[in-house]
Structure 1
Amino acid sequence: MDFPPSSARGLALVGFDADDTLWRSQDHFDAAQAEFERIIAAYVDLQDVGQRLYEYEARNIAFFGYGVKGMALSMVEAAVEITEGRISAADIHRIVAIAKALLRHPVELLPGVRAAVEAVAATHPVVLITKGDLFHQEAKVRQSGLSDLFRRIEIVSEKDEPTYARLLEEFGVPAARFLMVGNSLRSDIAPVLALGGWGVHVPYHTTWRHEAAHEVAAEHPRLRRLAALEGLPSVVATLDTLLAMDEQGVRA
Structure 2
Amino acid sequence: MIELVGFDADDTLWHSECYYRDAQDEFEQIIGRYVDLKQQSLHERLLAIERRNLKVFGYGAKAMTLSMIEAAVDFTNARISAADIHRIVGIGKHVLSHPVKLLPGVRDAVEAVAARYKIVLITKGDLFHQERKVAQCGLADLFHRIEIVSEKDEAAYRRVLAEFDLAPGAFAMIGNSLRSDIAPVVGIGGWGIHIPYHLLWAHEADTDFAAGSPRVVEVKDASGIAAALEQLDRRAAA
TM tier, shorter chain?
over 0.9
Instruction: Kindly provide the CA deviation profile for residues 86-121 of structure 1, in whole angstroms up to 9, marking residues without a partner as x.
Output: 000110010000000111100000000000000000
Residues 72 and 96, structure 1, Cα contact 8 Å, conserved in 2: yes
Alignment of 1:88-237 (within 5 A): 88-237=81-230
Report if the CA contact (8 A) 1:185-1:211 is conserved: yes
Contact 1:185 1:215 in 2 (8 A): no
After superposition, the C-alpha distances for 1:54-73 in whole angstroms (9 at most, x for unaligned) are: 11111001100000000000
Which structure has the bigger radius of gyration? Answer: 1
Question: Helix, strand or coil: the match of 1:155?
Answer: strand
Q: TM-score, length-normalised on structure 1?
A: 0.92
Which residue of the partner structure matches residue 14 of structure 1? 5
Aligned-partner Cα distance in 1 for 2:212–2:12: 22
63-72 vs 214-223, which deviates more? 214-223
2:23 corresponds to 1:32: yes
8 Å CA contact 2:15, 2:102 repeated in 1: yes
List 4+ stretches of structure 1 deviating above 6 A: none
Q: TM-score, normalised by structure 2?
A: 0.97
The separation in 1 between residues aligned to 2:94 and 2:211, in whole angstroms, is 38
Query: Is the Cα contact below 8 Å between 2:191 and 2:232 reproduced in 1?
Result: no
Q: Does 1:46 align with 2:34?
A: no
Task: Tell me what 1:83 maps to.
Answer: 76
Aligned residues, how many? 236
Give the Cα–Cα distance (whole angstroms) in 2 for the partners of residues 62 and 218 of structure 1: 27
Partner of 1:7: none
Q: Contact 2:9–2:121 (CA<8 Å) still a contact in 1?
A: yes
Shift of 1:37: 0.5
| d(CA) in 1 for partners of 2:124, 2:44 | 23
What is the Cα deviation at residue 81 of structure 1?
A: 1.0
Q: Deviations 1:150-200 (Å, cap 9, x if unpaired)?
A: 000000000001111111111111101100000000000000001010001
Give how far 1:217 is off.
1.9
| Superposed CA offset, 1:3-40 (max 9, x none) | xxxxxxx2110000000000000000001001001100
Q: Report 1:39-78 matches (<5 A).
A: 39-47=30-38, 48-78=41-71
> In angstroms, what is the RMSD of aligned CA positions?
0.9
Contact 1:80–1:86 (CA under 8 A) maintained in structure 2: yes
CA distance in 2: counterparts of 1:163 and 1:218, whole angstroms:
21
